[in-house]
């Protein structure tokens, strides 16, 4: 009931303006003397781990800088010869792409075509695997690359900014396909294709990429597609972008790019953890 009331309230509020306002507030400089107390207080409330931050807390000038902090080297080792989680998150969904359909929550589905905004592209993933990874306010907010390959294009798709928590997932139809998002496409180094889709949410100031200036919650609210004539070469675990608060990544893998292995709903994963298998040498022959 509380979740439904929250969704009803948000339906009449200006979510984009609220999110831009939250982003502005999170970017304000905090006096050095207050920073440690502010970030430790935030961490106690949400369960974040400030001791993992690469720099001393006083080095982060704003809440946004703390949200998007890098971690101390070595804290997220990469699983060898595997597809790895791009984020610290909880597993929200997992499955096989069948008849253009993905599961949003129990009893609720949406189409891959609506998520990617391209029917022909969606068809290229038929029979592949997918997972939805939810980042909460406690999580490390940077997004990394799941496997080695070449990023060929990225498309910003404007939309709503509903929350992406469990209440919203249960009550907002086609949530991930109606929210703001960026569709990043890459060709795997061993073949096949992957779509990495960071999805915006309420109070997420912006979702940004490291290799392009595309971002969510843009004032220019129209589809923006960037095709890279010289693809961006990336390695597993390399930087992809970040959320300026917390949100969701939908990962979709074509059958010839590898297989996302079965993931248990609600279980946390860490960036760099094995979540799937790459194509074997025999499959490449």
Catalytically active residues are: 88, 144, 247
Residues sharing a CB contact under 8 Å with residue 165, sequence separation 6 or more, in sequence order: 134, 136
Q: What tokens does 269 get?
A: 């994963």
| Residue 236 neighbours by CB under 8 Å, 6+ apart | 78, 83, 84, 145, 146, 147, 148
Q: Which two tokens stand for residue 251?
A: 């990962």
Pairing of strands 193-199, 181-188: antiparallel
Give the full edge-to-edge strand order of the sheet including 83-84.
83-84, 274-277, 259-260
| Residue among 23, 28, 2 at smallest CA distance from 161 | 23
**Which of 191, 195, 199 is CA-nearest to residue 253?**
195
Query: What does the block give as tokens for 246?
Result: 């917390």
In angstroms and rounded to an integer, the radius of gyration of the C-alpha atoms of the chain is 18
């Amino acid at each position: 009931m509380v979740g439904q009331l929250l969704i009803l309230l948000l339906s009449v509020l200006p979510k984009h303006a609220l999110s831009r306002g939250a982003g502005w507030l999170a970017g304000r400089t905090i006096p050095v003397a207050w920073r440690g107390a502010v970030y430790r207080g935030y961490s106690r409330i949400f369960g974040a781990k400030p001791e993992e931050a690469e720099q001393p807390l006083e080095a982060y000038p704003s809440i946004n800088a703390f949200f998007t902090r890098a971690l101390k080297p070595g804290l997220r080792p990469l699983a060898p010869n595997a597809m790895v989680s791009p984020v610290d998150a909880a597993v929200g969904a997992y499955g096989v792409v069948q008849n253009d359909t993905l599961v949003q929550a129990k009893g609720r589905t949406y189409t891959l075509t609506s998520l990617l905004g391209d029917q022909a592209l969606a068809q290229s993933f038929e029979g592949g695997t997918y997972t939805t990874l939810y980042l909460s306010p406690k999580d490390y907010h940077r997004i990394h690359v799941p496997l080695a390959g070449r990023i060929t294009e990225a498309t910003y798709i404007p939309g709503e900014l509903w929350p992406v928590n469990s209440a919203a997932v249960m009550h907002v139809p086609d949530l991930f396909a109606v929210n703001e998002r960026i569709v990043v496409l890459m060709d795997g180094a061993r073949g096949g294709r992957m779509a990495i889709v960071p999805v915006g949410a309420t109070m997420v100031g912006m979702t940004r990429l490291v290799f392009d200036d595309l971002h969510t919650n843009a004032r220019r609210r129209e589809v923006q597609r960037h095709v890279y004539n010289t693809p961006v070469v990336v390695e597993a675990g390399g930087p992809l972008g970040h959320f300026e608060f917390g949100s969701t990544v939908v990962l979709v893998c074509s059958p010839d790019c590898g297989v996302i292995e079965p993931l248990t709903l609600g279980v946390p994963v860490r960036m760099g953890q094995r979540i799937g298998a790459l194509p074997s040498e025999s499959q490449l022959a």
